[in-house]
Each structure stands twice: as C-alpha cells, then as structure tokens.
Chain A
C-alpha cells in the first residue's frame, strides 16, 4: 500500500512531506477559529488529519526506501547549525504514523461527542485547539532540533490544557484537573528546557544529531550530566512516568471523552518518544550515568508503575479512572522495556507503545460511546450494557482482552516480546512481575466486563441503544486491528524493530 502511495504522490509531496505533515494542521487551526459552525470545523479537521496521515505514510515509505534510513529536511534551506532540521527515521516515522492514524480516527468519531459535550459556540474553537494539539504532537515527533522540540511540546501542551478544561461543560472538576495538568506540564517543560540549556552550554548546538556526535568526548562533563537529569525528569513527567503521573488520572477522567481518547493514545506516547530519542540517540545507552539511570531509576520506576497503578486501578469505581491508571501502568511496561537498554528491550517497549495506542484508543472510544448514550462512567452505569449495546461492548471487550494480554490479541504479542527481552537479560523476576501485573489487569478489566455482560442493567431498557455509526466504525477498526495484529504481528513488530534499530543508530532494515 505504501508503495502505491509513493508512486502516486506528486514530487512536491515527496520532497516536502515532512514540513507539510505539521504545517497543514497548524495553519488550518487558526482558520478554524474563524469558521462559523462546528460542523464545517469538524470536516476540515478530518481533512487536515487525513492529509497528515497520508504524509505520515509517505514519510514511512521514504524512510523505508531511503538507503541511510533517514529523511532530513532543512527548514527554509537554512543549514543545520543555524536552521531547524526535521529529521525522520524509522523511530519517529512509526510515532508519526500512530499519532496521525489515531488523530484521523479520533476526528472522524468526534462529532457526536462534541455535540453532546461542548457548547455550540465553542465547537469551532474546540476543533481549532484540537488541530493545534495534533500539529504540536506531530511537531515533537518530527523535529530534529532540541529547542524546536520544546516549542512543539508547549504548543501541544497548552492546547491540551484548553481541551481538558472544555470538559467543564460536563463535569466542573475538569477545571481544577486542567489547572493541575497545567502546573505539572509546565514544570516538566521547564525541566526539559533547563536540561537543554545545560546541553547547549556544553556543546554549543541545539541540533540533536550534532549534540549526539559531540557528546562522547564530553560525557564526563558535569553540565552534560545535569542536562541528562533534567531532561529525563522533565520528559518523564510528560510521559506520565510513575510517580510523576499524578496529573494524568484527573485529566483523563474529566476532560471531554473525545479528548481523553485522543490524548491517551498519543500524548504520553509522543513524550515517551522524545524520552527514547534522548536516551538512545542523543545520549547513548553505554554512558556510565545512563547505565546507572536505567538500572536504578527507570527499571524500578517502570516496575513500580505497572504494579502500583494496576493496584490503584483495581480499586477505582469509575471506568475512565480505571483506564487512566491502567495507562500509567502500561507506560510502566514501556519504560521497563526501554530500561533493559537492549534493542530487543527497546523494540518490545515500542511494540507495546503501538499496541497500547490501539487498545486504549478503542477502550476510551467505547467509553465515549457509553457516555454519549447513557451518560455515566461508573462501573455501575456499565451494568448490562452487553445486552443493550452489544456492538460497542464487544469491541470494548476485545480491546480489554488485548489490554489484559490474552493470546491472539495484540497486547499478548507485545508482552511476549517484552518477556523475551527480559529473559535475554536473565531478568526472570521482572517477567514474574509483568505476569503479576497482567493478573491485576485481569481483575480490573474483569470487573468491568463482568458488569457489562453478566449483570442486569440498572435501568432496564427495552430497546437497544448503540453508539452512533460514526463512532462504531473507527471503534471497530481499532478493535479488529487488535485482533489482526494479535495474530499477524509482523507489521507492527517490524516497525518497532526498525524503530529500535534506528534509535540505536543502527541502519538495519528488513
């Protein structure tokens, strides 16, 4: 399919794919603020995300066919030390594909939920903020410049705060949640920019690739180490690394349902991407301080996340909070994979990242459907929905099984890869903990599924009431993807392996 797109695309699209991927949504966003009605804004946002999706496919194709595995673009033809470089390799091509796919599916299904949750006059503005956020996330993923990454990170974050706060129409608690998120997000971004400052002081450049070539002789430098610490903590906070995750449950629970779905599948993923980029490309996993950070910080925190947050999820009564805590736990899996410090570990982490985007996307989308038709997110509200909304709930169940890691689902494949990677390093106790955490997932998802399929509805309805078709179609695309990639995992696993190889700077392709 990618070949066909590459052949069909005009020359300008091929040569300018990287900037256009970000610029199209970014420039359409202010336009949306001027659009009179929400419906037009919605259509434009579908178009914008769809164009970005196509460009992401093109970029992936370009990266895969490129002899060095890198697509580099100098913005405005300014040469590298002065200008900004957009640098795409297998790692961020994969992330871009995830973000744009989810963005496209999210904007397709968004309209019914936006109608239900956002006041009429704010709808166009809402879509405007969404496109800014979308562009920002893509920008983070695409740029090769450390400071530019900060700018895009802030662009996406600030619009995210707005999006979360717009949940106040449904639940007033969205306002403090957004405010907390703002504080914590700003703190993380500040840490990051401080870290960049340290690196700049040591190396004199902001281009990530150049930093990475200059660093080996500066590895003992104090300011490099300080920069590493600040960047690790700052991006860790953005990626909801335990225990810096506390902004996440509230932000996910009270924001508009559409926003939750989009953010859960993209925002933490992009931050995690940035972290991986710094850990593996800018810094190298063989630096002394990074080895100790892996074994003493990231691995314990990853494991703590997947155990502690799974426990917390078990005790929640609100489905969205269960899923939110589960997200933090899943980030723990990814961080655990990263912290092994091998290509196998990193590719397992990235593979789980892809799969998690699919399953959490589907889960939150189904929840959005329930909120839309039944106005409630507690487990009690879900009781008996298996009968009144079988399509929505079957997709929910598929994604939930994938989250648990039942064989023949995508979640199983990535946990399997993670297990293999851990075994390779002899960390079988960590495998045991992964298993234990999956066991907790059985409990917390099991509670929901039990209510959905085995309990009588709270208010029995005679008629079936499904979510609208607009929501069901993307939902089932994601749910079926969970099944398909659980059986034929070659495509995402190949992406993740290439991405890991690229992160290590190895140009190994299939």
Chain B
C-alpha cells in the first residue's frame, strides 16, 4: 500500500466524514458518505501494517503515537468499523444531518482511540467520543433526553478528566505514557485511570449513566451508542489492566446485578442497556483473569456482543420506529405485523443467550472456561447465574413481550427495508460466528483467527469448544432455564409488566442529590443574608465610616450591588494580610 494511505488512520477517515456530513445537505450524497466512509476505513485497517508506529507527533515534548495497529486493537477496531457500516445502513431511512455526522464522528473517535499508541492520544479521542455521542441523545429532543444527555455528558467528561488526572500522575512517576500495562493499583495515578476506565465500562455503582441515557436516545442513536463506549472501555482495560484481580470480582458483580433490574424494567431499550452491563461484566471478568485464552475470550466476546447487542437494539429500534413505544406493558403480538423483525430479534436473542451454533456460545465459553480453570468457584457460579439471567431478560423477555405474549392489537407496517437489511447482516454474523469450522477458517475459526493469541484460541477450538460435554451442559442450563420460564408463566408467578420507572443508583443523584442541592440553596438563601446581617452589625461602625468616606448613601443604594459589602471585604482582607505578614516575621 502507498505510504500515504498507510498513514491514514481509519478513525480519522470516519471523523472527517462525520464532520463533512454535518454540512452535506443533499440526502443521497450524505447516505453515500455514511456507508462509503466506514467501508474505506475497513479497507485501510485491513491492509495496515501491524506492530509499528504509523503516525507519531510531538506535542509539548510528549511523543504521541496516533496510529498503531496490533493484534489486540485490530479486532476491536474491526468490529467497530463493521458496526459503523451497519449503523449507516440502519440510519438510511432518516434524514438527519446532525445524527449522521455525530454517529460517524463518534464511531471514528472510538476507532481512533482504539488505534492510539499512547495514553495521551487515547485520552484525546476518549473525550471526543464523549462529546460527539451526546448529540445522539440530544437529537431525541424530548425533555427527558435533554436532561439525561446533560447527566451523561457530565459523567463522561468526569471520566475524561479523571483519566487526564491519572495521566499527569503517571507521566510524573513513570516518565512516559506508553501503553504498557499497569500492575499496581495503589499508585494514585493508576487508580485514577482505573476509575476513569471503570466509569466508561459502567462498573457497578458507576453504571447508571448508561441505563439513564441510552434508552432516551433516538432510534438510531441507541443502536450506535450500544456499540462503542463500553467496548472501548473494555479494550482499554484489556490493554492496561490485564490480570488485575479486582476486575474478576467487579466483572462478576456486573454480570449479576443487572439481571434483577432487567426483570422488573418495563422499557425494553432500558432492559437492553442492563444487558449491555451484564455482557460487559463477562468481558471485565475475563480481563481480570488475564490469561491469553481469557483475553481472547474478551476480544471475541466484545466482537460478538457488538453484533448481537446491536441486532437486539436494532429490532427494538424498529419497534419503536413503527409503534412509537418500547414499553413492554404496551407492546405484544407484534409478530403478526413484523415477522422479519421478530425473526431477527429471535436470532439475536439466541445469540446473546449463547445457544450452541450462535455467536456467544463460541466466545463467552472461553471466559467461563478460564474462570473455572483458575479455580474461582464463586465467580463461576455467578457467571452461570448471569448466563441464566441473560437468557431471561434478553433471550426471552425482549422477544416475548414485544412480539408475542398478550396481543396489544397494534397493527403496523414491517420495519423499513434498510433496517431489515442491517438487521439481516447482523443476524448473519450472529449465526456465522457461531458455526463450527466446516473447513478451516470458516465460522468461528474466522473469528478465532483474528484473536490476539491465535495458537491458544485454535487449541481451545479443537479440544473443547464443540465437545459433547460443552454442548450438553450448555443445553442443560438453557433448557432448564426456559422450562423455568414456562413453569412460572403457567403458575402465574411471573411478575407482570407494569408501567413505572425503576429506581437505580441514579436515584442518589437525580433525587437525593438534587433535593440536597435545592435544600442547600434554600438554606443558603436564608443563612447567607443572616450571616451577612450579623457581619454588618458587627462592623456597622466601620461600615458607616467607610460609607460616609467614600459615597453618599443614596448613590450606593442606587448602585445596588453589595458595594458596601465589598469595601468591607477590602478592609477585612487588608487586615488579614497585615496580620499574617506581622505574624510571619514577628
């Protein structure tokens, strides 16, 4: 490849295309850009030479490696770019410059962050993903979306500044910002970075921005959002913190707790947001194990997750697009009018539930197998619980309440063709990635061949993946869980879907924090003048003197703004400075 093209970062291609499409008013031209740019970027990525610094620059004495491809970030950016193509197709029915531009820009920033060769570059694009993605939420143009977007932006920017904070520390202690993995969490800088990554990966108690914002985005927006931010964080964790034992527990908790929320949640896009949390938990857990096979599992599961989660989000988006709602309590029976969407949704549901011959089966099992090998019995049980849980909320609840169950009587059109096409491609990937290797390099072996540790992956594929034990145990887990569903439905102990919002940790800042601030404001409103009044009484003589000296009363009163107070401040400050100076020497 010509050297000029080799230096062209695929992420930047998308960013430039994103900015351009903000200004392209002609719809058809913009549609071409939104599909062609990711395709071009894919070509650039696939042909880029690996393991060398392709673009570097020097800023303030800091060497920044802007573009470097290696085995780990290749698979993540590949998934991001394929998803960008699908998102472009999925958005074809809409004519929204800002949405198209923001989606491309956001994808590009995520790809560029993945392909960064040092932490500073990662940080820059990390921030850009935060800023560009917020438009996808804002474009929903509802009141809820507006406030959620502001909270989202706040949290994302917080993650960025924490990262920056950590970088400053690390630069000082380590002397460079290379992508060499951290081992010691007790260094405060490393801890800052860890928490910054943790926010984006939606660690437990840091997770709520996700469930808050994603369901309020536009139809296309939540599909795009579900791909990048969390997986970028998973990549960053896998890069900087492999084998960090805390992550095993954090990940396991992440897989478990969303299950309970997803059961009672009514908004199906919010259910899927909890499901993102749950799936990212598996990946985080795998990063914590840190063995080659576990890292393989993380990369592969992220790759698969992008497509089956995207597929589920797309199907819910199609439902929202046609019916105007995704609340389980108002839907049901849509398979009558949207059979294609139903079919694709079921494929996605089976993929996420890790049915054999579907994608998650070949990816998640690597992580779980490594957990078992490492002897984490409790973690293993938690992950098994979560596997049953994901079957519950994503595998059954989503298709059942949207497309089957009680017939809502909604008779709508099938999803637009472009949506069906995008869903169809994603569904194809969900199945293709899970197929046994009928010939070398087919099905799951294609994915395994892209993994960072190919030898280990192939060994696993030959000895364990499609072994009788593995398949039968997986069927046992799934069939018994489905049987539990049928049984609970039959005896009417399955909780019915009710309208309402479900409180989560965001309650602490959306309700308590907000009330606290309001309360503090009220108190300050009362206490402030009281304190000022007391202060004035004490210093009234000085005040009168200064006032008489410097201004006629009337003038100042007309001036209005606390001038008297300020003169007193001046005097008080002078006194303090004098006192300090005298004390310091005397």
**In the complex, how many angstroms separate the beta carbon of A111 from the nearest chain B beta carbon?**
31
Q: Interface centre among B153, B563, B576, by most A CB within 10 Å? A: B563
Cβ-based interface call for A379 (8 A):
no
Of B162-170, B233-241, B375-383, B454-462, the segment with at least 4 beta carbons within 8 Å of chain A is B162-170
Bound complex: CA of A228 vs CA of B585, how far in Å?
13
**SS of A interface (majority):** helix
**In the complex, how many angstroms separate the beta carbon of B173 from the nearest chain A beta carbon?**
10
Q: Which residues of A contact B565 (CB under 8 A)?
A: 246
Bound complex: CA of A474 vs CA of B299, how far in Å?
50
Q: Which residues of B contact A435 (CB under 8 A)?
A: 161, 165
Task: Please state if A407 and B570 are interface contacts (CB–CB under 8 Å).
Answer: no
Task: Please state if A446 and B60 are interface contacts (CB–CB under 8 Å).
Answer: no
Bound complex: CA of A232 vs CA of B570, how far in Å?
11
What string of 1s and 0s marks CB contacts (under 8 Å) between A187-228 and chain B?
A: 110010000000000000000000000000001101001101
Known: A229-B574, A250-B561, A293-B577. A419 touches B550 (CB 8 A): no
| Chain A residue at minimum C-beta to C-beta distance from B139 | A454
Q: Which residues of B contact A493 (CB under 8 A)?
A: 60
**In the complex, how many angstroms separate the beta carbon of A209 from the nearest chain B beta carbon?**
22
Q: Which residues of A contact B584 (CB under 8 A)?
A: 288-289, 291-292
Task: Please state if B582 and A297 are interface contacts (CB–CB under 8 Å).
Answer: no
Q: Which residues of A contact B570 (CB under 8 A)?
A: 184, 187-188, 191, 233, 237, 244
Cβ-based interface call for A247 (8 A):
yes
Q: Which residues of B contact A424 (CB under 8 A)?
A: 172
Bound complex: CA of A288 vs CA of B584, how far in Å?
6
Task: Please state if A244 and B566 are interface contacts (CB–CB under 8 Å).
Answer: yes
Bound complex: CA of A490 vs CA of B59, how far in Å?
8
| Chain B residue at minimum C-beta to C-beta distance from A242 | B569
Residues facing A in B130-146 (CB within 8 A) are 131, 138, 141, 146
Task: Please state if B157 and A292 are interface contacts (CB–CB under 8 Å).
Answer: no
Task: Please state if A233 and B573 are interface contacts (CB–CB under 8 Å).
Answer: yes
Bound complex: CA of A190 vs CA of B388, how far in Å?
77
Cβ-based interface call for A83 (8 A):
no
Q: Which residues of B contact A442 (CB under 8 A)?
A: 153-154, 157
Task: Please state if B578 and A487 are interface contacts (CB–CB under 8 Å).
Answer: no
Of B30-38, B76-84, B406-414, B552-560, the segment with at least 4 beta carbons within 8 Å of chain A is B552-560
Task: Please state if A439 and B157 are interface contacts (CB–CB under 8 Å).
Answer: yes
Bound complex: CA of A443 vs CA of B563, how far in Å?
28
Residues facing B in A428-475 (CB within 8 A) are 428, 431-432, 435, 438-439, 442-443, 446, 450, 454
Residues facing B in A158-190 (CB within 8 A) are 176-177, 179-180, 183-184, 186-188
Task: Please state if A419 and B168 are interface contacts (CB–CB under 8 Å).
Answer: yes
Bound complex: CA of A490 vs CA of B58, how far in Å?
11
| Chain B residue at minimum C-beta to C-beta distance from A236 | B573
Task: Please state if A247 and B172 are interface contacts (CB–CB under 8 Å).
Answer: no
Q: Which residues of B contact A244 (CB under 8 A)?
A: 566, 569-570, 573
Which residue in A233, A247, A439 is a CB contact (below 8 Å) of B574?
A233
Bound complex: CA of A435 vs CA of B585, how far in Å?
35
Task: Please state if A490 and B165 are interface contacts (CB–CB under 8 Å).
Answer: no
Bound complex: CA of A237 vs CA of B573, how far in Å?
10
Residues facing A in B175-234 (CB within 8 A) are 188
Task: Please state if B582 and A222 are interface contacts (CB–CB under 8 Å).
Answer: yes
Task: Please state if B165 and A184 are interface contacts (CB–CB under 8 Å).
Answer: no
Known: A179-B559, A230-B574, A406-B131. A292 touches B566 (CB 8 A): no
Residues facing A in B393-411 (CB within 8 A) are none
Cβ-based interface call for A296 (8 A):
yes
Chain B interface size, under 10 / 10 to 19 / 20 to 34 / 35 or more: 35 or more
Cβ-based interface call for A35 (8 A):
no
**In the complex, how many angstroms separate the beta carbon of A462 from the nearest chain B beta carbon?**
16
Q: Which residues of A contact B555 (CB under 8 A)?
A: 176, 179
Cβ-based interface call for A505 (8 A):
no
Q: Which residues of A contact B577 (CB under 8 A)?
A: 228-229, 232-233, 293, 297
Known: A289-B585, A408-B124. A297 touches B161 (CB 8 A): no
Q: Which residues of A contact B150 (CB under 8 A)?
A: 443, 446
Task: Please state if A439 and B550 are interface contacts (CB–CB under 8 Å).
Answer: no
Task: Please state if A183 and B550 are interface contacts (CB–CB under 8 Å).
Answer: yes
Task: Please state if B560 and A176 are interface contacts (CB–CB under 8 Å).
Answer: yes
Bound complex: CA of A226 vs CA of B586, how far in Å?
13
Known: A229-B574, A493-B60. A184 touches B566 (CB 8 A): yes
| Chain B residue at minimum C-beta to C-beta distance from A241 | B573
Bound complex: CA of A60 vs CA of B570, how far in Å?
36
Q: Which residues of B contact A250 (CB under 8 A)?
A: 559, 561
Cβ-based interface call for B40 (8 A):
no
| Chain A residue at minimum C-beta to C-beta distance from B125 | A407
**In the complex, how many angstroms separate the beta carbon of A314 from the nearest chain B beta carbon?**
11
Cβ-based interface call for A243 (8 A):
yes
Q: Interface centre among B188, B561, B577, by most A CB within 10 Å? A: B577
Residues facing A in B101-160 (CB within 8 A) are 123-124, 127-128, 131, 138, 141, 146, 150, 153-154, 157-158
Bound complex: CA of A490 vs CA of B124, how far in Å?
19
Cβ-based interface call for A78 (8 A):
no
Task: Please state if B158 and A439 are interface contacts (CB–CB under 8 Å).
Answer: yes
Which residue in A222, A246, A288, A439 is a CB contact (below 8 Å) of B566?
A246
Task: Please state if A423 and B169 are interface contacts (CB–CB under 8 Å).
Answer: yes
Bound complex: CA of A184 vs CA of B164, how far in Å?
40
Task: Please state if B576 and A180 are interface contacts (CB–CB under 8 Å).
Answer: no
Cβ-based interface call for B583 (8 A):
yes
Cβ-based interface call for B562 (8 A):
yes
Q: Which residues of B contact A229 (CB under 8 A)?
A: 574, 577-578, 581
What string of 1s and 0s marks CB contacts (under 8 Å) between A230-262 and chain B?
A: 101100110000011011011000000000000
Bound complex: CA of A237 vs CA of B567, how far in Å?
10
Q: Which residues of A contact B146 (CB under 8 A)?
A: 450
| Chain B residue at minimum C-beta to C-beta distance from A424 | B172
Cβ-based interface call for A416 (8 A):
yes
Task: Please state if B569 and A439 are interface contacts (CB–CB under 8 Å).
Answer: no
Task: Please state if A187 and B585 are interface contacts (CB–CB under 8 Å).
Answer: no
**In the complex, how many angstroms separate the beta carbon of B167 from the nearest chain A beta carbon?**
9
Cβ-based interface call for B551 (8 A):
yes
Known: A408-B124, A454-B138. A289 touches B581 (CB 8 A): yes
**In the complex, how many angstroms separate the beta carbon of A471 from the nearest chain B beta carbon?**
23
Cβ-based interface call for B580 (8 A):
yes
| Chain A residue at minimum C-beta to C-beta distance from B192 | A428
**In the complex, how many angstroms separate the beta carbon of A342 from the nearest chain B beta carbon?**
14
Q: What 18 new A-B contacts, CB under 8 Å, besides A288-B585, A407-B128?
A: A180-B561, A180-B563, A225-B585, A229-B581, A233-B577, A243-B566, A243-B569, A246-B562, A249-B561, A288-B584, A420-B172, A423-B172, A439-B161, A442-B153, A454-B138, A489-B59, A489-B60, A490-B60
Q: Which 10 A-B pairs have the closest CB atoms?
A: A289-B581, A225-B581, A229-B577, A176-B559, A288-B584, A292-B584, A246-B566, A229-B578, A289-B584, A180-B559
8 A-B pairs (CB sep. < 8 Å): A184-B567, A222-B582, A230-B574, A246-B566, A250-B561, A292-B580, A420-B172, A439-B161
Q: B residues near A, CB below 8 A? A: 59-60, 123-124, 127-128, 131, 138, 141, 146, 150, 153-154, 157-158, 161, 164-165, 168-169, 172, 188, 550-551, 555-556, 558-563, 565-567, 569-570, 573-574, 576-578, 580-585
